[in-house]
Amino acid sequence: MSNNRVSRRQFLSYTLTGVGGFMAAGMLMPMVRFALDPVLQKHAGGDFVLTEQKIADITEEPIKVDFTFEQVDAWYKSDVTNAAWVYKSGDEIIALSPVCKHLGCTVNWAGDTAHPDQFFCPCHAGRYEKNGKNIAGTPPLGPLDEFEVQEKDGYLMIGPSRANTLV
């Protein structure tokens, strides 16, 4: 027989340590998984949203196109409706963000009768040229953002926004 006998005290210590560790791991693993889950998810960033706007109906006159997409914020999913000012410039389709670069109000096309060929922000009379360039002397300090666009089966798809590439 071996002389390395485990005392009753050691046996109890080992057993309690093992059971305690097992229970602690059982409690911590779901918490760690829960905390890391959003990080491990594949993000759908860069996805394009299909709109109900027919490409053929887009003219050189900017029109407001609404589009809805699912926004995932950690564990919370919600449908968000956004809009873009869309028009044709030659063969190219331009989609501009309606969010004013001053304080974030929504701009309108031809909203100021004195400047019918510009975007107009009613909050502080900010103005932008058709390509989104902010007009000097009005409050906005930068051009309207631009959306990436694609076509699918004759309909417009709107993608992520980016800094204006037209000005």
Which residues bind to ligand FES, rule: CB under 6 A?
100, 102-103, 105, 121, 123-124, 126, 139-140
Q: How far apart are CA 73 and CA 145, in angstroms?
A: 23
Q: Closer CB to ligand FES, residue 51 or residue 102?
A: 102
Closest distance of CB 89 from ligand FES, Å: 23
**Shortest Å, Cβ 63 to ligand FES:** 20
- Give the residue with the Cβ less far from ligand FES, 102 or 133: 102
Q: How far is CA 4 from CA 1, 10, 14, 57, 71, in A?
A: 9, 12, 15, 89, 63
How many other CB atoms sit within 10 Å of the CB of residue 131? 17
Q: 125 near 114, Cβ under 8 Å?
A: no
Nearer Cβ to ligand FES (139/159) = 139
Q: CB of residue 135 vs ligand FES: minimum separation in angstroms?
A: 11
Report how far residue 13's alpha carbon sits from residue 35's, in angstroms, rounded to the nearest whole number.
Answer: 32
Q: Give the closest residue to 112 by CA, choosing from 133, 128, 97, 100.
A: 128
Q: Which residue, 12 or 123, has its beta carbon nearer to ligand FES? A: 123
Q: Which residue, judged by CB position, is nearest to ligand FES in the bound state?
A: 126
